[in-house]
Amino acid sequence: MTMPVDTLWSNVHLATLDMASGYGEIEDAAIAVSNGRIAWLGPRADLPRGLQAAVTHDGNGGWLTPGLIDCHTHLVWAGSRAQEFEQRLQGASYTDIAAQGGGILATVHATRAASEQALFAQSAQRLRTLLDEGVTSVEIKSGYGLDLASERRCLAVARRLGREHRVHVATTFLGAHAVPTEYAGRADTYIAMLATEMLPALHAEHLVDAVDGYCEPLAFTPAQLRRLFAAARALGLPVKLHAEQLSDSGGAALAAEVGALSADHLEYVNDAGLAAMAQAGTVAVLLPGAYYALRETRAPPVAAMRRLGIPMAVATDCNPGTSPCASPLLMLNMACTLFGLTPEEALAGVTRVAARALGLHADRGRLAVGLRADFALWDIDHPRELAYWIGGRSCSGRVVDGVAMDAI
Ligand code: DI6
Ligand code: FE
């Protein structure tokens, strides 16, 4: 019986990530793609006799993994906050700087002033760095506009980044990132405006795939975010949450209560919050770049998460304030050295579990028949090398929807 397929990659080792733990290694393997999806995979020796590929690629004995998924970024912004880095080195805290009108609001100021073209150009540069390290799906949050026109511009830039590069972009509305100056002292009014005006308008323009909020005393309370999330759910949008990054504020419990896809950061999460997440199946997104940049000393409770079976994703949190970083591989290394993940947990964190943090796990994040053919190819001896090397290593190729990208 003949089995015609579009493309075959042969002479590769596979790390399928298609099980609860382990890399899912298949050495000397082949993987076939039809209509942008995986049609067959397995040891090369088991290749079905009748399999006929229109195009065959030689993997040169490298490793092929699921394409990386960066499930938490704030990729679209203008300006730089390098001077805040200097201030923090001289002893100012992130919270002090924010209270003085710096922090997120400084970036909002620069982003509102930037043209769409300038925003696109600056953000595309960061995106290309991610792609160079094997990213095939990226989540991009708004949150540096905070008024309708500026949030729209940021989300439109995110969509355009996806159209003009070979990468899947999932957008997240983060209007609840900070209280903008024009609403100073009126956080409740701002949240009501987001829930009844801004979110429905942007959703109607198909700019929003999910809704996020920043749950911290310097941003919003659980009660305020609960109101916003009710509006999100009424529109059928999934939610996620920046929770317990700087303080124990009840964010993890809120995320579990509202059925959020993920709670992100979690350095200060308490036992009840963790238990609620485990019960609800909420993914923990670990962001070692922010922990490192803020020189935090309290790491998220990885051992407890592991014990409770809470899935752990890893992401860059690429943002100008707390994680000026566009290297997912550096995050793998830091997730191991700073948080105690194993290299295989870290790789699962940017593939299988990251897909789950975006609600895309039926379609991406693993190598299995029927899933989207999004791959990264690596010139390495073993997938553990991806976490071992301290960032700055390019993939040797990317495949998106079954199409091989020659150049990033
Ligand atoms: N994600 C965020 O949204 C905040 N911290 C984080 O890890 C703040 C981002 C910023 O300072 O611009
Ligand atoms: Fe963030």
Distance 58 CA to ligand 1 centre (A): 42
Distance 56 CA to ligand 2 centre (A): 40
Q: How far is the C-alpha of 81 from the C-alpha of 321, rounded, in Å?
A: 6
Q: How far is the C-alpha of 245 from the C-alpha of 288, rounded, in Å?
A: 11
- 320 ligand 1 Cβ < 6 A: yes
Sheet holding 262-265, edge to edge: 68-70, 135-141, 168-176, 210-215, 240-243, 262-265, 283-286, 312-314
> What is the per-residue pLDDT for 339?
98
Helix (H, G, I), strand (E, B) or coil at 239: strand
Distance 121 CA to ligand 1 centre (A): 21
Top mutation candidate among 109, 242, 265 for ligand 1, by most atoms within 8 Å of CB: 242
Distance 350 CA to ligand 2 centre (A): 16
> What one-character-per-residue DSSP string does 88-143 give?
HHTT--HHHHHHTT-THHHHHHHHHHS-HHHHHHHHHHHHHHHHHTTEEEEEEE--
Q: How far is the C-alpha of 241 from the C-alpha of 127, rounded, in Å?
A: 23
> Are 6 and 54 contacting, i.e. CB atoms less than 8 angstroms apart?
yes
- 107 ligand 1 Cβ < 6 A: yes
pLDDT tens series, the chain, 408 aa: 899 999 999 999 999 999 988 999 999 999 999 999 999 999 999 999 999 999 999 999 999 999 999 999 999 999 999 999 999 999 999 999 998 889 999 999 999 999 999 999 999 999 999 999 999 999 999 999 999 999 999 999 999 999 999 999 999 999 999 999 999 999 999 999 999 999 999 999 999 999 999 999 999 999 999 999 999 999 999 999 999 999 999 999 999 999 999 999 999 999 999 999 999 999 999 999 999 999 999 999 999 999 999 999 999 999 999 999 999 999 999 999 999 999 999 999 999 999 999 999 999 999 999 999 999 999 999 999 999 999 888 999 999 999 998 644
> Are 320 and 79 contacting, i.e. CB atoms less than 8 angstroms apart?
yes
Taking the chain, what is the end-to-end CA distance rounded to the nearest angstrom?
38
User: Cα–chain-centroid distance for residue 86?
Assistant: 27
Q: How far is the C-alpha of 126 from the C-alpha of 63, rounded, in Å?
A: 25
Which residue's CA is the closest to the ligand 1 atom numbered 9? 321
> What is the per-residue pLDDT for 1?
80
State pTM to two decimals: 0.98
Which residue, 113, 114, 134, 136, is CA-closest to 123?
Answer: 114
- 262 ligand 1 Cβ < 6 A: no
Taking only the tens place, the pLDDT of each residue in 219-248 is 999 999 999 999 999 999 999 999 999 999
Ligand nearest to the CA of 218: 1
> What is the per-residue pLDDT for 408?
42
> What is the per-residue pLDDT for 406?
62
- 94 ligand 1 Cβ < 6 A: no
Of all helices (H) and strands (E), which one includes residue 335? helix 328-337
- Cα four-point dihedral sign 247, 250, 254, 256: positive
302-65-386-295 Cα dihedral, nearest 10 degrees:
-40
User: Cα–chain-centroid distance for residue 267?
Assistant: 18
> What is the per-residue pLDDT for 347?
98
Distance 339 CA to ligand 1 centre (A): 19
> Are 151 and 198 contacting, i.e. CB atoms less than 8 angstroms apart?
yes
> What is the per-residue pLDDT for 392?
81
Q: How far is the C-alpha of 45 from the C-alpha of 51, rounded, in Å?
A: 13
Number of the ligand 1 atom closest to the C-alpha atom of 245? 7
**CB proximity list for 406: less than 8 A, separation 6 or greater:** none
Q: How far is the C-alpha of 98 from the C-alpha of 110, rounded, in Å?
A: 15
If you count them, how many residues does the chain have?
Answer: 408
Q: How far is the C-alpha of 328 from the C-alpha of 253, rounded, in Å?
A: 28
Largest Cα–Cα distance in the chain? 71
Distance 229 CA to ligand 1 centre (A): 19
Total Cβ atoms within 10 A of residue 284: 29
- 288 ligand 1 Cβ < 6 A: no
